[in-house]
Amino acid sequence: MSVSRQTSDPDGDTPTGLDYIQSNQKICPACPQKIIFCIDLANEMDETLQGTTGVGIKGTLGSDVSRILLTRRLLLRFIHLKLMFNNSHEFAIVVLNEKAVWHMDFSNDEMLLEMAISELYPTGHYNTFGSAQHVGMARDDVMVQVILVYGRSAVIPDPVDQKV
């Protein structure tokens, strides 16, 4: 069996095949990662989610729960599990009101992260959200991921400017 060693797409711009895999070996669950949680703090995050018996939200948490409480609990669980795989992972928190604002810079201190997450509460009703903000995180030595928790059903974010 032979493996194709195509080095670029038909336009010649993007590496593909083995070259792509080799150039992206840093993408693995145990490699150090920087993860940014973007958490919406609009009033809709205070709405109650109703679980079902034995499965889903109620089965996981034991009762009906607000969106923000569920988000906080799942963030803590996610952080704990990620740090079990590699304690070099770091997490940052950005809160979303009318604009995105840094709440906590990158850290792998589970206790500090728990304190910062426990401070997350809905802060108001927002009619807009400008998503076209750029966070200067371009780095070659670490993988950066963004996890967005957005709870505004009536507000569609502005499109992201690809030039940002």
pLDDT mean for each 10 residues of the chain (164 residues): 43 52 53 90 85 54 79 94 92 89 94 96 81 54 82 72 48
Distance CA 2, CA 6 (A): 12
Per-residue pLDDT, 12? 57
| Structural domain contains residue 56 | yes
pLDDT at 4: 40
Q: Could you tell me if 14 and 26 are in contact, meaning their C-beta atoms sit under 8 angstroms apart?
A: no
Is the residue at 16 inside a domain?
A: no
Task: Identify the pLDDT of residue 108.
Answer: 96
10 Å Cβ neighbour count for 136? 5
Q: Shortest CA distance to 156 belongs to which of 126, 120, 134?
A: 126
pLDDT in tens, 6-53: 444 555 555 554 454 445 554 565 678 899 999 999 888 988 877 655
CB 34 within 8 A of CB 106: yes
Please state the domain count of the chain.
1
Residue with the two structure tokens 């095949």: 17
The pLDDT score that the predictor gives to residue 151 is 84
Could you tell me if residue 27 is inside a domain? no
Output the pLDDT for position 17. 46
- Can you give the pLDDT at residue 126? 82
- The predicted pLDDT at position 23 comes to 53
- Return the pLDDT at 38: 92
Residue 91: inside a domain, yes or no?
yes
Question: Is 26 inside a domain boundary?
Answer: no
Domain for residue 74, yes or no?
yes
- Mapping DSSP to helix (H, G, I), strand (E, B) and coil, where does residue 83 land? helix
For the chain, the residue count is 164
* Residue 162 domain flag: no
Task: Confirm whether 9 is domain-assigned.
Answer: no
Task: Kindly report the CATH number assigned to the domain that includes residue 79.
Answer: 3.40.50.410
Range of the domain at 95: 32-149
